[in-house]
Amino acid sequence: MAEGLAAAGATVVLNGSDQGRLSAAAAEMKAAGYTVHEARFDVTDEAAIVATFERFDAEGIEIDILVNNAGIQLRKPMVELATDEWRKVIEANLTSAFVVGREAAKRMIPRGYGKVINIGSLTSELARATVAPYTVAKGGIKMLTRAMAAEWAAHGIQANAIGPGYMLTDMNQALVENPTFDAWVKSRTPAKRWGKPDELIGTAVFLASSASDYVNGQIIYVDGGMLAVL
Ligand code: GCO
């Protein structure tokens, strides 16, 4: 999505918690000719988030478009799930979007402009066994997006979400390699295939552009039709 937004003309500030991976991603984008800055912080570290936005203020970096994409997955039955494991997923997948969104909106509101794009999931709508904290967090992302619209739309900010289906990402590699799960995704998805991460770019660019200036509080599913069909 970062590359797609850069290709559409955005100057990108990449965030990651791991400096090595962040610098490698930034270098790859710079090699492609894109303008990229790095902002290393863990999205569960509120002090680091606040300090980063204060650094942006000092350096004149204005965040016009925020994509809240950070997330972790933990697949385990609830009866085996420790409360701290639950909290970790909720913090990384939901609270982070609130904290980063709040800091971005504090600066967007005075400017009367902003785009917030939260990343939901099929589990924003439907539950699957063994991914309860992820499901609850992603359900929360859908409603947080609506809450952001409720409070920020009058200030020229559009808050929306993208709900990816089963995508070929690192987080899902264990599922892709599981023949039974792989077959289920391919049979359950009307498109009969997993989604590719770059298939999210068009929706991200739409929600980041003036084409979506009257779209607020929505979640757009990019899921091969899975949610539309029994
Ligand atoms: C899982 C997967 C899903 C997908 C995605 C679906 O274990 O079921 O990780 O959660 O990642 O969120 O939209």
Q: Write out residues with Cβ below 6 Å of ligand 1.
A: 73, 75, 121-123, 128, 131, 134, 164-166, 171-172, 175
d(CA 140, CA 39): 25
Q: Averaged over 14-32, what is the pLDDT?
A: 97
Residue 224 phi/psi, 5-degree rounding, is 65, 10
Considering the chain, what percentage of its residues have pLDDT values greater than 90?
100
- Atom 3 (ligand 1) nearest CA: 166
User: Would you tell me how many other CB atoms lie within 10 Å of the CB of residue 172?
Assistant: 18
Q: Binning pLDDT at 50, 70 and 90, where does residue 222 land?
A: very high
* ipTM score of complex: 0.96
Q: Averaged over 211-228, what is the pLDDT?
A: 98
Q: What is the pLDDT of residues 178-196, one digit of tens each?
A: 999 999 999 999 999 999 9
Index of the ligand 1 atom closest to the CA of residue 164: 13
CATH code, residues 41-222: 3.40.50.720
| Every domain of the chain and the residues it spans | 41-222
Residue 184 phi/psi, 5-degree rounding, is -65, -45
Å from CA of 210 to ligand 1 middle? 30
**pLDDT attached to residue 125:** 98
Residue to probe by mutation, ligand 1, list 89, 122, 167, 176, most atoms within 8 Å of CB? 122
Reply yes or no on whether 166 is catalytic: no
Of 134, 166, 214, 221, the catalytic one is 134
User: Would you tell me how many other CB atoms lie within 10 Å of the CB of residue 193?
Assistant: 13
Q: What is the pLDDT of residues 159-171, one digit of tens each?
A: 999 999 999 999 9
**pLDDT attached to residue 64:** 98
- Strand pairing category for 65-68 and 36-40: unpaired
Residue to probe by mutation, ligand 1, list 135, 170, 171, most atoms within 8 Å of CB? 171
Q: What is the pLDDT of residues 38-79, one digit of tens each?
A: 999 999 999 999 999 999 999 999 999 999 999 999 999 999
Q: What is the pLDDT of residues 97-149, one digit of tens each?
A: 999 999 999 999 999 999 999 999 999 999 999 999 999 999 999 999 999 99
**pLDDT attached to residue 67:** 98
Index of the ligand 1 atom closest to the CA of residue 131: 7
